Chain A
Amino acid sequence: METFTLEILTPNGEIYNGQAISVVLPGEEGEFGVLAKHASLTTLLTTGVIDVEKEDKSVEAIVINWGVVQVDEEKVIILVEGAAAIRGANESEIANALDEAKKLISDIADSSSAIASVSAKIETAAQRLL
């Protein structure tokens, strides 16, 4: 599979920097996926989950509260304000990450349905890891 470079930056540093096969982003007007050689694009992201398919085909979920993405043919750069990755080596680490992610969205999202849909997504992402 062809891959592209993905960078996710927060004001407190990088949260992801590496190769990815695909990435699904929560755009302002709906979710969209990006593969390698995608046409150039700049758009805003809203509260939601970024699904990153890594080189080894594993999928990592990263919760964000606001962002802007810049896509060009070889590279995708995402600037986010707050982000929490659902990752961890064992059950308790994943549980911690989950809590952090939930806190992040409950702080920002104003509609309860948005919170519900995002939390459902991260719950599934966490299940996948366990």
Chain B
Amino acid sequence: MANLKDIQRQIKSVSNTQKTTRAMKLVSTAKLRRAEELAKRSRLYAQKMNQVIAEIAGRINCSKVGGIDNRCFNKIEAPKMVDIVFVTADKGLCGGFNIQTIKAVKALIKEYKEQNVKVRLRGIGKKGVEFFKYNEVELFDSVINLSSKPDKKRSDEFIRTSIMDFKDGKIDALHIVYNGYKNMITQELHVNKVLPVDGDSFECNDTHSSLLEVEAENEENMLDSLVNKYVEYNMYYSLIDSVAAEHSARMQAMDTATNNAKDMVKSLNVQFNKARQAAITTELIEIISGVESMK
């Protein structure tokens, strides 16, 4: 049986860990609330943005022969090079949050490799970047400190490279992979194909388009400019959503850790009491047998 002092030391260490995990859980809960609020407010913008794009794209699709003359809306039959942007957290201790994203990215890369498509990997977030570097998977570029503090300007700058390359024909598709927030206890993995924009979802919508007055030669320009913003916004939203998910994952992981620590302290306490009892019993036996032998 372990030494009394050893057990005591272990109890102390485990309860200290418990304090840390509990504090981390509380911090994540507070941060989650803020992140969730931001994501909720942002969703409104997304809805309207999609509406406007769908309306304009739908109009051009219906009125013009040959559909939309913009690379972003046309299906690309045989892609040669694709961009995969992934978003992971900068910090660990959040359960399977990062590894899920990494697994999804790996699966996507494999899928493309089988079709002989080159993949250009762009990473956001320290954990994912470190993982791929360690495994010697080539990263085209990466940023850290962006996924923990989403910033519209920096995210725009980052994704603009992909948009430009897509428009120049250097890449043929753009995917954003991230782990998004679903509710307090679940995260949802998103693998979004951002470019080319799925044109099939824009139907000819006569009821609304007849009301709309857009200068004809402007439509294409407008669409082009809107697509940029659409992709930029998608990137930004992925970051916001990912932050919310990260905090919810961490909250859960830390809750489990706190509970485990609690159980451990409990069993250690039992062990400690048993050891103490045994020590007392031995001492008593020693005294009694001493007395006995004196008689």
The interface of chain A, by Cβ under 8 A from chain B, is 9-14, 39-44, 66, 68, 70, 72, 77, 79, 81-82, 107
Contact = CB atoms under 8 A, between A and B. Distances in A.
Interface in B130-171: 152-153
Contact of B45 (A9, A66, A72, A82): A9
A66 B153 CA distance: 13
B52 A79 contact: yes
A70 B52 CA distance: 8
Given A10-B45, A11-B233, A107 B38 contact: no
B contact residues, range: 20 to 34
Given A40-B213, A68-B52, A13 B222 contact: no
B49 A79 contact: yes
Interface string B214-255: 110010011001100100010011000000000000000000
Nearest to A71: B213
Given A70-B52, A81-B229, A107-B153, A13 B213 contact: no
Nearest to B42: A11
14 contacts: A9-B45, A9-B48, A11-B152, A11-B237, A13-B42, A14-B41, A39-B213, A41-B212, A42-B55, A43-B215, A44-B218, A70-B52, A81-B229, A82-B152
Interface of B: 38, 41-42, 44-45, 48-49, 52, 55-56, 152-153, 211-215, 218, 221-222, 225-226, 229, 233, 236-237
Q: Which of A10, A40, A42 has the most CB of B within 10 A?
A: A42
Given A42-B56, A68-B226, A72-B211, A77 B41 contact: no
Contacts of A68: 52, 222, 226, 229
B208 to A, nearest CB: 9
B130 to A, nearest CB: 29
Looking at chain A's contact residues, the main secondary structure is strand
A13 B41 contact: yes
B220 to A, nearest CB: 12
Contact of B38 (A13, A42, A66, A79): A13
B44 to A, nearest CB: 6
B213 A41 contact: yes
A40 B212 contact: yes
A107 B156 CA distance: 13
Nearest to A108: B153
Contacts of B226: 68
A77 B48 contact: yes
Contacts of B233: 11
A44 B225 CA distance: 9
B96 to A, nearest CB: 29
A94 to B, nearest CB: 24
A35 B38 CA distance: 32
Nearest to A41: B213
A92 B207 CA distance: 49
A27 to B, nearest CB: 11
B159 to A, nearest CB: 13
B50 to A, nearest CB: 11
A13 B211 contact: no
